[in-house]
Structure 1
């Protein structure tokens, strides 16, 4: 009795699987016929890969940090980095870009052409940087390399950002000192010129 009761169940499962395979094959054949006859068909979508599988050249710690960086500069939290957010991000990295350079970067990674950067497209920035396809590849390669894949990746990358900020601060102070020196020289030259004119005026009185 037990054997006879279990057989129909196996038979039903096999039949169901066969039906599914048959339906899938029929759908593929129908699609091929439509293409051959020139009828419009829906574009077949490639299987969607997970971000870790697609960007396998980076470690999991690197990818996690890149995603944290994305969230940091997605200021309005709409899950996209728009042109202005991208501009501010590059300024924070000490690599301010011209309007045209930013447009070119966005055009390179903006695969769906919506004018903004999705998390996946943000990953493309690091991929293209690693192959030297960006004019500012170095800063992204430095950031990727700063994530220690053995130890504290997030801390290493955070140190990178802090170092960039300190570098920008030092540069700003240096520029201020140069401007102050130039201003002081201008004042000294103006004072010297004024004394010279006064001397000539006094000399003219006594001659």
Structure 2
């Protein structure tokens, strides 16, 4: 059994880096993001993928649908395991506001021991993303699947594969419209590429 996963962070919306989008409704791709989706589609067409699964957020759906169109695949399937971290009351707030919140500072210092206001820890996120990957891997040999998700969710999966503590999240980047490739087999799992940005 071998499964190859292309972990894709959604393409950019117009305010990436200005506020915590989280699960806020109505956040769609901007012009730059739509151009990124075209490049992602070209990249993943070379990956010969079999299926696409996506977070239910608008920005991930748009990204996944663009990839599916470029690859000649059926519409992507949504799966809650790929959803953004449930940031609860933090969703939609600017980082300037969040930086004044001691709970936010604690979250970014010790995520392994901190819950968001919505009640989720990064260990919860890691469990759900890797649980989905294990389930999909059992569906057949040599599967090649794109999973369109969010930066922290992808970081949680990568940390698990590399045996890193969840608090290692600041040590690597997952940029908008990047591809991180993970292979899982009977022998274990390994990261093949990390944060591959398509120019």
TM range (shorter): under 0.3
User: TM-score, normalized by length of structure 2?
Assistant: 0.24
User: TM-score, normalized by length of structure 1?
Assistant: 0.23
**Which structure carries more strand by proportion?**
2
Tell which has more relative contact order, 1 or 2 (C-alpha 8 A, sep 6+): 2
